[in-house]
Structure 1
Amino acid sequence: MGRLLKLVLFLLVLGFVGLVGYAYLGDLSPEQREITLPVGLNVE
């Protein structure tokens, strides 16, 4: 039972390190573009 717990803990730590590494090294910047939409106002 202790070996299984150590394996699960190791996999959790490895997954966390992988997620942090991907967040820092992966290209997570959004695509930027200009959007122009007309806005109709009902002001009387």
Structure 2
Amino acid sequence: MFRLLKFIVFLLLVGFLGLVGFAYLGDLDPARTEREIPVTLDAN
């Protein structure tokens, strides 16, 4: 039982460290470019 509890605590710790590392190092901002797309309106 103690081994299972220790494993769960280990997984929580690794998950938390992974989340913190991703928050500081993960760069998921999209590359933004300006585009002009012509639109044809069909007005009657």
TM-score, structure 2 as length reference: 0.63
Q: Which runs of 5+ in 1 are unaligned?
A: 34-44
* Number of aligned positions between the proteins: 44
**TM alignment of 1:3-42, pairs within 5 A:** 3-29=3-29
Q: Percent identity between the aligned chains?
A: 64
Moved over 2 A (4+): 28-33
**Deviation at residue 32 of structure 1 after TM alignment:** 6.4
C-alpha distance in 2, partners of 1:30/1:8? 35
Q: Please, what TM-score do these two structures have when normalized by structure 1?
A: 0.63
Structure 2: how far apart are the matches of 1:23 and 1:31? 18
Which amino acid in the other structure matches residue 11 of structure 1?
L
